[in-house]
Amino acid sequence: MNVTQDLSILHLILNASAVVQVVMALLAAVSFMSWYYIFMKWYAVRQAREKTEGFERDFWSGGDLNRLYESAMHAGQESGSMARIFEAGFREFTKLRGQKNLDAKDVVDGSRRAMRATYQREMDTLEAHLAFLASVGSVSPYVGLFGTVWGIMHAFRGLSNVGQATLAAVAPGIAEALVATAIGLFAAIPAVLAYNRFSHDIDRLAVRYESFMEEFSNILQRQMR
């Protein structure tokens, strides 16, 4: 018997018990989905950062707010999260300022509430699928461990049909069981690293958005004087 071939990864997967194969297939599917979300989220966060930096340059360049508002409206979904927050706040400010029965505080508070609502929607979009990555990172090792435990149990049950328990008899069963743990770690480690990185980046963007809302509210308040 060629031990090298019999203990190859492909051979171990194909000859594993049905339960272990199901665990491996589940972990492989979860790993594929997590990598899809990792690349998708990496692109989304990078775009959000670049658009935020571009809008901040335009906003603090001292240009006309009405012109900046029209530019954000025409750009639509391509304008970026901070631009949409600005658009919502300035639109509400313009609408409320035309009402004679409202004082300056009510107008600014209304604008701030509009920006806050848009901010929450933008953050929900940025944080989409992060919970999935967190779940993959925390659950996958245990799923792989379940497959390993089941495979080892299956291997030791098979020893009852063997006259003499030797390493050659038990090694393939244990090896195929350990493959499940390896696949579980392969799925979990990138998901955990990506979750931590994206959470950090999104938190930094959230701080920039909140700072902008406060600064823009102060600008609007000065315009009401």
Q: What's this model's pTM, rounded to 2 decimal places?
A: 0.81
Question: What burial class does residue 58 get, using C-beta atoms within 10 Å of its C-beta: 0-12 exposed, 13-18 middle, 19+ buried?
Answer: middle
Calpha distance 147→153 (Å, rounded): 10
Q: Taking each helix axis from N to C terminus, what angle separates 18-59 and 65-75, rounded to the nearest 10 degrees? A: 150
- Biggest CA-to-CA distance, the chain: 96
- Contacts of 3-7 with CB under 8 Å at 24 or more apart are 3/168, 6/172, 7/171, 7/172, 7/175
Residuewise pLDDT in 10s, the chain (225 residues): 444 445 566 666 676 678 888 888 899 999 999 999 999 999 999 999 999 999 999 888 877 888 888 888 887 777 889 999 999 999 999 888 877 777 888 888 999 999 999 999 999 999 999 999 999 999 999 998 888 888 888 777 766 666 565 656 666 667 777 888 888 999 999 999 999 999 999 999 999 999 999 999 998 888 776
Nearest to 49 by CA among 82, 20, 10, 24: 82
